[in-house]
Structures are given as structure tokens and as C-alpha cells.
Amino acid sequence: MTDSIDLEKQKYPIGHYKPPEKVDLDTVKKWIEEIEELPVQLKSVVEKLSEQQLDTPYRQGGWTVKQIVHHLGDSHLNSYVRLKLALTEKQPAIKPYDQDLWAKLPDYILFPVKDSLLFLEMLHKRWVILLKAMDKEQIERTFLHPESGVVVLKKNVGMYAWHGRHHLAQIKALVQRKNW
């Protein structure tokens, strides 16, 4: 039983995402700040790791640190595009992707982590500009996810603030367990 608890804690070191019932503008602003800060926080943890450490899974059967960093870029790029679609179209239907298959593609192995960190930094700068510029009406706009249904932008901001903290916590926990 302890092993399954430990595995769950390794998978979700900050717990599963639980959106609040009500989301106000102050909450959205806090989440945007978290999104804005993620690239610096991630870089401070990852840049000191060796190639061997970057190729270490954060848990048994899990992605490597390198895969997590590349995944954050892909996932957050998709969220950025979904935001732009929702701001320019009436409830657009978006296309999901298989993140596990993406994590097996050659760019996850061959692309340098330092370049993905730079990509994430630049992406977040543009993403945060859009997020901060949204007004009360725009944060209520929606897109249609084929698996999740209708997604309201303000709640999606919370999901991605959590997403960044979630993966950062996975890497930090590995660094702590390995005493790196």
C-alpha cells in the first residue's frame, strides 16, 4: 500500500488539479503571475543538471526531466494557440494531442534542454501579454475540447498555472530524492 501512495505522491506532488467553484479577477491575476514566473523557476532547477541527470525519469516508468521540459513547451504552446483561437472565434473546437506519443518523438531526445528553456521563456512572454490584456468579457470566452467539453478561458488559466507547478514539483522532488 505504501508503494502506491509513494507513486501517487511522485506523480502528483502538489495533488491533482481541482478548479475552484468561482474564479474572480484576483485569482486569474495570481495564476497569470505563476505562468509568468515558471520559466525562471524551471531554469533555476534544470540548468545545473548534467545530461545524465536530465535523462533520469522523475519516477519509475515516468518521463525523464528532459521530456518534462520539452512537454511543458509543447503543452503551453497548445494552450497559447487555444487562447488565441478562443479570443478570435466563437467557441472554437480544438484538437487534442497524445502527449505520451509526442514525448517519444526525436525532438524530445535530440533537442537541447537549454533551447527548450529559452523557447518556454519566449512563449511565456507572449502568452502572458495576451493573458494580462484580457478583459472581463474575454476571460469568459470558451473553446470546445472533445474530451473535456466547454472550457472557459479563466479556468484554463488556472489549469495551466497548476500544470507548470505540477511538473516543476516533479523535477524538484527528483532532485531532492537524488540529492543533486
Task: Quote the Cα angle for 69-164-40, to 5°.
Answer: 70
Instruction: For 3-44, write each residue's pLDDT tens digit.
Output: 666 888 999 999 999 989 899 999 999 999 999 999 999 999
Structurally, at CATH architecture level, domain 24-178 sits in: Up-down Bundle (1.20)
CA–CA dist 85, 167 (Å, integer): 25
> What average pLDDT score do residues 142-162 get?
97
Q: What pLDDT was estimated at residue 5?
A: 65
* Burial track 50-69 (b if 16+ CB lie within 10 A, e otherwise): eeebbebbbbeebbbbbbbb
Q: Return all residues near 109 (Cβ < 8 A) that are at least 6 apart.
A: 66
Instruction: Name the pTM for this structure.
Output: 0.94
pLDDT the model gives residue 7: 85
pLDDT value, residue 100 = 97
Q: Over the stretch 93-136, which tens digit does the pLDDT of each residue have?
A: 999 999 999 999 999 999 999 999 999 999 999 999 999 999 99
